[in-house]
Amino acid sequence: DAGVIQSPRHEVTEMGQEVTLRCKPISGHNSLFWYRQTMMRGLELLIYFNNNVPIDDSGMPEDRFSAKMPNASFSTLKIQPSEPRDSAVYFCASTLRGGVSNQPQHFGDGTRLSIL
Amino acid sequence: KQEVTQIPAALSVPEGENLVLNCSFTDSAIYNLQWFRQDPGKGLTSLLLIQSSQREQTSGRLNASLDKSSGRSTLYIAASQPGDSATYLCAVSAGNQFYFGTGTSLTVIP
């Protein structure tokens, strides 16, 4: 049973470059979440989707961040242009049958992003 | 805004000891509370989820309790093992948001 799959596992790029993070949720799960984890701020919810539709993007820090879910098995988080303060570990998670309120979340192993 | 606090930030115990991790939150209007485990370089693994109407959940050597009125949850680990060494995070669900604590780093010494 494959879990949530994220790619790449590590990304190092220069300031100003576009960064695209990818996520494949668990098959059959209809809710998907993007998180960012830093030492200073801990884990923060950036955005979540229900049935491929963005429900709450209030955690997206700036217009430089965008997320899409074109189908039930794929989502992207894009940062353009990237800045050093975007360096963090970005996690994707999915749940079965519903939004934030009632199901345990299953996390991917994350993408460690470093912006130089 | 919901604030979630976990104390202590780090804990070191000898193998076999029973231990309690604490989580507190400021707003009792929550849907549920979840305890996670995070190993270095890995994502979070869900351990237990307690619905707001429940008082506790158990899984093997783990027992989590929830007292909504006082804004507290505890995670009890019985007969700790070196393999339990990890960071433990709690998260509360409220509205469309998940609010995470900063975690307790647990080391179980053989």
* B3, B46, B105, best to mutate vs chain A, most A CBs in 10 Å: B46
Chain segment B65-95, per-residue pLDDT in tens = 999 999 999 999 999 999 999 999 999 988 7
- Token pair listed for B38: 């995070």
Say if residue B62's pLDDT is above 70. yes
pLDDT value at residue A100: 53
Nearest Cα of chain B lies from the Cα of A18 at a distance, in angstroms, of 24
- Token pair listed for A9: 């596992």
φ, ψ dihedrals at A38, nearest 5°: -135, 160
- In sequence order, which residues have a C-beta less than 8 Å from that of residue B99 and are 6 or more positions away? B2, B3, B4, B25, B91, B92, B93
Contact B31/A at CB under 8 A: yes
Say if residue A3's pLDDT is above 90. yes
Contact B102/A at CB under 8 A: yes
Mean pLDDT of A58-74: 93
- Token pair listed for B4: 């979630």
List of E strands, A31-116: 31-38, 42-50, 53-56, 65-71, 74-79, 88-95, 106-107, 111-115
Mean pLDDT of B3-10: 94
Chain segment A4-42, per-residue pLDDT in tens = 999 999 999 999 999 999 999 999 998 999 999 998 888
Sign of the Cα pseudo-torsion (A106, A108, A110, A111, in order): negative
